[in-house]
DNA sequence: ATAACTTGTTAGTTTACCTAACAAAATTAA
DNA sequence: TTAATTTTGTTAGGTAAACTAACAAGTTAT
């Protein structure tokens, strides 16, 4: 079962690496979903959407959909929900009347600053509880590597 | 926004670490799901289930549910589906008549050997295409760290 | 001018989970 | 030993978060 040794690892070839990575991603994702699904909280994708709007003053629905990797139709539904909650606002463009700028409302921004990181509490606690400082450092180092895997091409 | 510096990272505190990790996990999970959802393929959890049965000759539904982090009810449905496909078989225990041993059929084993790793093809290709050998090495090193985060307590 | 493309939306469907309710066997308590 | 409780597995029904289909309206290309 063990793949042939290569230069990049004494233990794993890419097949085993991907299988193990899939496995741990599935488990972590389930842990996260269980957290966020508690009591009318934001879903994973809603959380991502809010995060993008926090870092970018305004974005189009299409752009948000691409960033969060869902269809524009699904994004449209999320936006309607968040608009009803006064978390985001839709501002139709004057140059191109098809376009609708999406941005956080004042209420939304306040809510985000107060709550966004709190939503990650579970994972944060898991990290602090189970990992050593050295492991945290390693994790921080590998994040850009993981992000390379999901770059939009 | 930048947290105060700590010993384990020059750049990230646990809050930022967890936020970034959540983000990349969500994206990777979506990428994986898109792959596995193609053409009557196995879902993420079904894939996990098969993997566990590949490594353990027989397991109980309860054990499989715990390992894959879903309810026993959900596992029951997955098992029914896979039994209908002749991928797994149910063998009631003689000592304890409540228990049902789950194992891969001959057909299932063959199918798994042929296909399990292929299902990870997308991720494998992404890894090989976008990561350098050094990055692959780093990824292999961080896997046990990520697994620590999801250990069943 | 009209055809083709872009952008955003609503409507309806699917998937992968969940909770509720229950049956049957095993274990513990009385 | 009988009765209550716990364990194990299942079916039935519900839900959240995605999807595809269809379409309206604005923009660009021919």
Domain count, chain B: 1
Neighboring chain A residues of B24 at a CB cutoff of 8 Å = 143, 146-147, 150
Encode burial over B95-134: b for 16+ CB neighbours within 10 A, e otherwise.
Answer: eeeeebebebeeebeebbeeebeebbebbbebbeeebeee
First to last CA, chain B: 33
Say which CATH number the domain at B74 has.
1.10.10.10
Q: Do A67 and A139 belong to one domain?
A: yes
Band (B40; pLDDT cuts 50, 70, 90): low
Residue A83 belongs to some domain of the structure? yes
B38 versus B88: the higher-pLDDT residue is B88
pLDDT at res. B16: 83
pLDDT at res. B69: 94
Is 60 exceeded by the pLDDT of residue A95? yes
Dist. CA B53–CA B75, nearest whole Å: 13
Is 50 exceeded by the pLDDT of residue B8? no
Band (A9; pLDDT cuts 50, 70, 90): very low
Residue A21 belongs to some domain of the structure? yes
Band (B1; pLDDT cuts 50, 70, 90): very low
Q: Mind listing the pLDDT tens digit for each residue in B83-139?
A: 999 999 999 999 999 999 999 999 889 877 776 666 778 888 889 999 999 999 999
Whether residue A17 and residue B145 make contact (CB cut-off 8 A), yes or no, is no
- Spatial distance from the CA of A38 to the C1' of D24 (Å): 37
Nucleotides of strand D lying closer than 7 angstroms to a protein CB: 7-13, 16-22, 25-28
Q: Do A48 and A67 belong to one domain?
A: yes
Is 50 exceeded by the pLDDT of residue A23? yes
Q: Do A33 and A47 belong to one domain?
A: no
Residue B2 belongs to some domain of the structure? no
Residue A5 belongs to some domain of the structure? no
Q: How far is CA B15 from CA A76, A116, A123, B1, B11, in A?
A: 29, 10, 9, 11, 11
Q: Mind listing the pLDDT tens digit for each residue in A24-77?
A: 999 999 988 887 766 567 889 999 999 999 999 999 999 999 999 999 999 999
Domain that holds residue A122: 42-149
Percent of chain B with pLDDT over 90: 58
* Mean pLDDT, residues B69-85: 97
Band (B37; pLDDT cuts 50, 70, 90): low
Q: How far is A90 from chain B (nearest CA, A)?
A: 24
* Mean pLDDT, residues A7-18: 68
Residue B133 belongs to some domain of the structure? yes
Q: Do A35 and A46 belong to one domain?
A: no
* Mean pLDDT, residues B67-92: 96
pLDDT at res. B146: 93
Own/partner pairs, B138-142, CB within 8 angstroms, 24+ separation: B138/A138, B138/A141, B138/A142, B138/A145, B139/A17, B139/A21, B139/A142, B139/A145, B139/A146, B140/A8, B140/A9, B140/A11, B140/A12, B140/A17, B141/A138, B141/A142, B142/A138, B142/A139, B142/A141, B142/A142
Residue A86 belongs to some domain of the structure? yes
Instruction: Enumerate the H helices of A8-132 as residue ranges.
Output: 14-36, 44-55, 61-68, 72-84, 106-115, 121-130
Q: Do A35 and A107 belong to one domain?
A: no
Residue B54 belongs to some domain of the structure? yes
Nearest to B17 among A18, A47, A139 (CB): A139
Q: Is the CB of B87 under 7 A from strand D?
A: no
Residue B4: is it exposed, middle or buried by C-beta count within 10 angstroms (0-12/13-18/19+)? exposed
Residue B61 belongs to some domain of the structure? yes
pLDDT at res. A40: 64
Band (A139; pLDDT cuts 50, 70, 90): very high
Q: Do A55 and A16 belong to one domain?
A: no
Q: Do A111 and A36 belong to one domain?
A: no
Q: Do A97 and A124 belong to one domain?
A: yes
Q: Is the CB of A44 under 7 A from strand D?
A: yes
Q: Do A37 and A50 belong to one domain?
A: no
Q: Do A27 and A59 belong to one domain?
A: no
Band (B39; pLDDT cuts 50, 70, 90): low
Q: Do A21 and A61 belong to one domain?
A: no
Average pLDDT of chain B to the nearest whole number: 86
* Mean pLDDT, residues B71-76: 98
Q: Do A136 and A122 belong to one domain?
A: yes
């Amino acid at each position: 079962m063990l793949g042939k040794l290569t230069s990049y690892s004494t233990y794993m070839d890419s097949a085993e690496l991907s299988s193990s990575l899939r496995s741990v991603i599935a488990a972590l994702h389930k842990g996260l979903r269980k957290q966020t699904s508690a009591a009318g909280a934001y879903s994973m994708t809603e959380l991502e959407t809010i995060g993008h709007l926090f870092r970018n003053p305004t974005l189009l629905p299409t752009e948000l959909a691409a960033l969060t990797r869902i269809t524009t139709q699904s994004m449209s539904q999320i936006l309607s929900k968040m608009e009803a909650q006064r978390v985001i606002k839709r501002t139709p463009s004057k140059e191109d009347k098809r376009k609708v700028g999406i941005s956080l409302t004042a209420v939304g921004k306040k809510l985000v600053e107060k709550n966004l990181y709190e939503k990650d509490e579970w994972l944060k606690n898991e990290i602090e509880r189970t990992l050593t400082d050295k492991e945290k450092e390693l994790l921080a180092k590998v994040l850009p590597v993981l992000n390379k895997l999901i770059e939009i091409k």
